[in-house]
Amino acid sequence: MQADFVIVGAGSAGCAMAYRLSEAGASVIVIEHGGTDVGPFIQMPAALSYPMNMKRYDWGFTSEPEPRLNNRRLACPRGKVLGGSSSINGMVYVRGHAMDFDHWAKQGADGWAYADVLPYYKRMENWHDNGHGGDPSWRGSDGPLHVSRGPRQNPLYHAFVEAGRQAGYQTTDDYNGEQQEGFGPMEQTVWQGRRWSAANAYLRPAMKRVNCTVVNGLAQRVVIEEGRATGVEIRRGGTVEVIRANREVVLAASSINSPKLLMLSGIGPAAHLAEHGIEVVADRPGVGQNLQDHLELYLQMAASQPITLYKHWNLVSKAVIGAQWLVFKKGFGASNQFESAGFIRSQPGVAYPDIQFHFLPLAVRYDGKVAAEGHGFQAHVGPMRSPSRGAVTLASADPAQAPKIFFNYMSTEEDWVDFRRCIRLTREIFAQEAFKSFVKREIQPGAALQSDDDLDGFIAEHAESAYHPCGTCRMGRPDDARAVVDPEARVIGVDGLRVADSSIFPRITNGNLNAPSIMVGEKVSDHLLGRAPLARANDETWVHPNWQIAQR
């Protein structure tokens, strides 16, 4: 089997590249270890906690014991299914802040400033405001990726935004437009009541073309001959075969599996590869390093009125919602229920938001265990730009074995200061007049926990990953010893090989990572085709006029 381009991973970026490359007439083979995404658990937005906890759809990774989080091993779900993590995620759509991408460019990712990437966001989007405001001139209207907003019928969604306003923050009717900072409606990759994953948006249309094929198998290593990637060795069934690339190999296998594959192929820190008996093709010390993530806490309040989603937390109601969704693709099943959001700055002197809120009118954990209180609601909150850095390393040279994932969470004093501030600022929002008629009491952390030590103990025991790992094949200039890929996503030191997924992010972006991951696939597909990048945008984003002296 052979094609012009061989892509490893049918995830967010891989699907986008398969679509764009095949659209241009190139032949593409996509290698995916997971199976089909057909079925209600993936396609029904409200069922989002199920696929994330199903071995069938998830690689099942866990971190090494995290010393500052009471040696807990944290779950690190990654999609093992068509659509990758876009088929098992929370469907929240956040582009990231303009300054995130300007920072990338300053760090050596030339051509990735906000002015460079905004045209790709517009190209990929088909945006629907659902009557909740926003400025169409900032958004795309004919791309493959439908982006919509929930119905926001529950009064708690509006109370959250109003409480933010009462606390002195901005409101914004489109955090993906001119102004991220503030409180307003949250966006989701949902269309006509279905999860609009990268598989639905990009891969299905691509597979209808004769020049795009998906092959099911486990990628074991990149085949490199005389310094050039010529194919990918895969195992399917009991046999090992090589799928050859006439032009290039592209790894889009996630920030966990892309560095693992590079190392199995002899590209990575030479001493580490030698430990596992792997012959060194290119000594790149940055492979697997620079691992970043978002940690978050759920601040949960017990509700004084029975208006939360808890009334649907029973078998009869779930069956009715499921049936309504199966027949009409409408009702509670048709939203991820994250319908209000907030982005704020933690203190004066911070130029752009460094705290994100997801608001949910239910007190529940990601694994689907609901709060004992019954009726409640919660805000997911956490700092956006932790200085902590971890690493993905090989556990063995066996491709079937998971790598070691060590996030090194909360490893600086700044992490703790930032997280305490998140908790206190969230409590202040829930204490506003807008919530007076809805709040009974604080479930967690609980009003008794007030001191720094109390909060630190709570963070250590309860902080969870927001499932945004990235950064392990960092993009930078070719002369940067710690960079893994150059600004066109080419692996430095090997010809014919690129990486295109969240692993190339120099630094984690503000918010959820699905949108920037797809954007990477869109932009790198132009580099693969040798096309000039889309013309730069000159839109100016909003920055708080008093950011140097005011927190809000």
DSSP 415-483: HHHHHHHHHHHHHHHHTSGGGTTTEEEEEETTTT--SHHHHHHHHHHH-EE-S--B-TT-B--TT-TT-
Residues in Cβ contact with 52 at an 8 Å cutoff, skipping those fewer than 6 apart:
58, 77, 88, 89, 366, 467
Q: How far apart are CA 336 and CA 339, in angstroms?
A: 8
Residue 468: active-site member: yes
What 3-state DSSP class applies to 21?
helix
Q: Are 144 and 19 in contact (CB under 8 A)?
A: yes
**Under a CB-based contact definition with an 8 Å cutoff, are residues 211 and 26 in contact?**
yes
Can you give the C-alpha Rg of the chain in angstroms? Answer: 22
- Angstrom CA distances, 338 to 90, 332, 335, 440, 539, stand at 8, 12, 8, 22, 28
Token output for 468 = 């945004």
If one counts every other C-beta atom within 10 angstroms of the C-beta of residue 35, the result is: 12
Exactly one of 33, 103, 375, 468 is catalytic; name it.
468
Proportion of the chain in helix, strand, coil states, percent, rounded to 5? 30, 25, 45
Please check whether residue 206 is in contact with residue 200, taking contact to mean a CB–CB distance below 8 angstroms. Answer: no
Long-range contacts of 201-205 (CB under 8 A, 24+ apart): 201/15, 201/19, 201/144, 201/145, 201/146, 202/15, 202/16, 202/18, 202/19, 202/144, 202/145, 203/10, 203/15, 203/18, 203/19, 203/30, 203/82, 203/83, 205/19, 205/144
Which residues fall within 8 angstroms of residue 361, CB to CB, at 6 or more apart? 154, 156, 157, 307, 308, 309, 337, 377
Comparing CA positions, the residue from 22, 39, 28, 25 lying closest to residue 3 is 28
Residue 89, annotated as binding a ligand? yes
For residue 356, the SS3 value is strand
| Per-residue exposure over 113-122, b if at least 16 CB sit within 10 Å of its own CB, e if not | bbbbbbbbbb
Going by C-beta distance under 8 Å and a sequence separation of 6 or more, which residues neighbour residue 355?
342, 343, 344, 345, 346, 381, 382, 383, 384, 421, 422, 425
Q: What span, in angstroms and rounded, lies between the C-alpha atoms of 27 and 3? A: 5
Q: How far apart are CA 201 and CA 82, in angstroms?
A: 12
Q: Binding residue per annotation — 90?
A: yes
CA distance 320 to 73: 36
Angstrom distance (rounded) from CA 50 to CA 216? 23
The DSSP call for residue 375 is: S
SS3 60: coil
| Active-site amino acid positions | 468
Binding residues for FAD: 81, 89-92
